[in-house]
Amino acid sequence: MTIEQAQESVDNWIKTTGVRYFNELTNTAILMEEVGEVARIMSRKYGEQSFKKSDEEVNLADEMADVLFVLICLANQTGIDLNEALIKNLEKKSIRDADRHKNNEKLK
């Protein structure tokens, strides 16, 4: 699935199953919640925190998909073409950081 297809699929799902988009501020809050769920898993799986009994059935891929879904909702609501935005962002990073990371002693 391309990014464009993902945006179309999410829009279709919202309009047929989800009834309508939550407003942008609500979706921003939901995005923060979902990112927090990813952070919770990451801090326990790869960091120093330990899992609680209630954390045993976590699914990192599903939580990342939740983040992507809400981000796509926000892009759709605000008229952003994520494919175009990502291409421009990578171009910006390629110019700005052409030598930055290569010259970073911390990365060697």
CA distance 24 to 73: 9
Query: pLDDT per residue over 27-57, tens digit each?
Result: 999 999 999 999 999 999 999 999 888 777 8
What is the C-alpha to C-alpha distance for residues 38 and 65, in angstroms, rounded to an integer? 10
6, 11, 38 from 33: Cα distances, Å: 21, 21, 9
pTM of the model: 0.89
Instruction: Tell me the pLDDT tens digit for each residue of 58-106.
Output: 999 999 999 999 999 999 999 999 999 999 999 999 999 888 888 888 8
Q: What would the pLDDT profile of 7-20 be if each residue is shown by its tens digit?
A: 999 999 999 999 99
pLDDT value of position 60: 96
d(CA 81, CA 92): 17
Q: What confidence score (pLDDT) does residue 97 get? A: 85
Q: In this predicted structure, what is the pLDDT of residue 53?
A: 84
Task: Tell me what pLDDT residue 99 has.
Answer: 85
